[in-house]
Amino acid sequence: MQDPLFAGVLAEAERALRTHGRVALCQIVRVEGSTPGKAGWKMLVCPDGRAVGNLGGGAFEALVKADASAKLGEEQPAAEVKRYYFTEQAVRGEPTGMVCGGLAEVFLEALVAAPLLVVCGGGPVGQAVVRHATLCGFEGLVAEDRDEFLRRELFPEGAQLVRVSRDYHEDFLRPWAGRELYVALVTRCWETDAAALGSILRQAPPRLRYLGLMGSRRKIERVKQVVGERGHTLNGSLRAPIGLPIGGDSPAEIAVSILAEVIQVRNQEAGDS
């Protein structure tokens, strides 16, 4: 019989992936003897410690949750099957301290969301960046203060659109706080660039992998000066001018140079890990 909580597990997996970027799915795949849970039962473990679903409760479920949480802490978590004995001792596998006498094998898998490319500025360059990002395996998020540049038809399906104020005072990254983030600042002027950059630095997303600013060197120095006067520190984290120097100045060509640099950074980090 299908676990009645299965639909809830799947719904929570979607929500948790959107927020945290990774969750652990735990499923009983085989049982022997007397066990509190049955094959097919599932539990989802989130990075914040929340668990949804049911494996049978007790010390067994607590052990699985601890193992799943540890897997979420790994840089590149690999799926595995773990065996749990419902005994006080075990030769091959992990004892639960329970006395049911059976065993359960649990498939532990970390589900990892695509990296999120945050584009501050929904103008022609921002639109092109999001289109290219979708083709390159990123999810796109556009933050913009002008309604005419937040029209759904300007962006590919699946892109998320967030309206901010001109001074970017909102914590607009809060719903995606745990995600692996790449941020491209391509707003319409140096004032909004400075506001967007200050907002990113203030929010300090813990898994920020890339932060780039489009503009001339003079404009970039002006933005850095203003951001510094507002009490923010860059510590060499800003890539500016944004993108690899491939030439070309059309929105599509600029977008290609930005994505090339973002992908380069992502692949370097993957190699280092």
Query: How many domains in the chain?
Result: 2
pLDDT at 21: 87
What is the average pLDDT score of the chain?
A: 90
Q: 157 and 30 in one domain? A: no
Q: Give, in order, the Cα–Cα distances in Å from 266 to each of 75, 97, 188, 242.
A: 13, 43, 26, 15
pLDDT tens track for 34-59: 888 899 999 999 988 889 988 988 88
pLDDT average, residue stretch 5-24: 83
**Where a domain ends, among 112, 142, 163?**
112
Residues 144, 239, single domain; the answer is: yes
Please state at what angle helix 190-203 crosses helix 217-229, rounded to 10 degrees. Answer: 50
pLDDT on residue 236: 82
Same domain, 120 and 88: no
CA pair distance 189, 182, nearest whole angstrom = 21
42 and 99 part of one domain: yes
Q: Are residues 105 and 120 in the same domain?
A: no
Domain-terminating residue out of 92, 112, 132? 112
The confidence band for 268, taking pLDDT boundaries of 50, 70 and 90, is: confident
User: Is 87 inside a domain boundary?
Assistant: yes
Confidence of residue 1 (pLDDT cuts 50, 70, 90): very low
- Taking the C-alpha atoms of residue 102 and residue 156, their distance in angstroms, rounded to an integer, is 51
Q: What is the pLDDT of residue 122?
A: 97
Same domain, 154 and 236: yes
Q: What is the pLDDT of residue 15?
A: 85
What pTM value is reported for the model? Answer: 0.81
Q: How confident is the model at residue 100 (pLDDT cuts 50, 70, 90)?
A: low
pLDDT in tens, 196-252: 999 999 999 989 999 999 999 999 999 999 999 999 988 888 999 999 999 889 999
Contact 170, 195 (CB under 8 A): no
In angstroms, rounded to a whole number, what is the distance separating the alpha carbons of residues 87 and 199?
A: 53
Look at residue 7 in the predicted model and tell me its pLDDT.
74
Same-domain status, 127 and 74: no
Domain limit, last residue, from 62, 96, 112: 112
pLDDT band for 24, please (50, 70, 90 cuts).
very high
Q: Are 104 and 37 in contact (CB under 8 A)?
A: yes
- Give the pLDDT confidence score for residue 4 in this predicted structure: 53
Whether residues 140 and 239 fall in one domain? yes
Same domain? For 89 and 101 the reply is yes
Identify whether residues 44 and 122 lie together within a single domain: no
- Asked which of 8-17, 154-163, 227-236 is least confident by mean pLDDT, the reply is 8-17
pLDDT at 93: 53
Residues 151 and 76 in one domain: no
Residue 1 is assigned to a structural domain of this protein: no
Of 140, 143, 141, 161, the C-alpha closest to 151 is: 161
Per-residue pLDDT, averaged over 26-39, amounts to: 90
50 and 97 in a single domain? The answer is yes
Look up the CATH number of the domain holding residue 239.
Answer: 3.40.50.720
The parent domain of residue 40 ranges over: 6-112
Return the closest-CA partner of residue 106 out of 78, 84, 77, 76: 84
**Does residue 8 surpass a pLDDT of 70?**
yes
Share of the chain above pLDDT 90, in %: 68
| pLDDT at site 74 | 87
Percent of the chain clearing pLDDT 70 (strictly above): 91
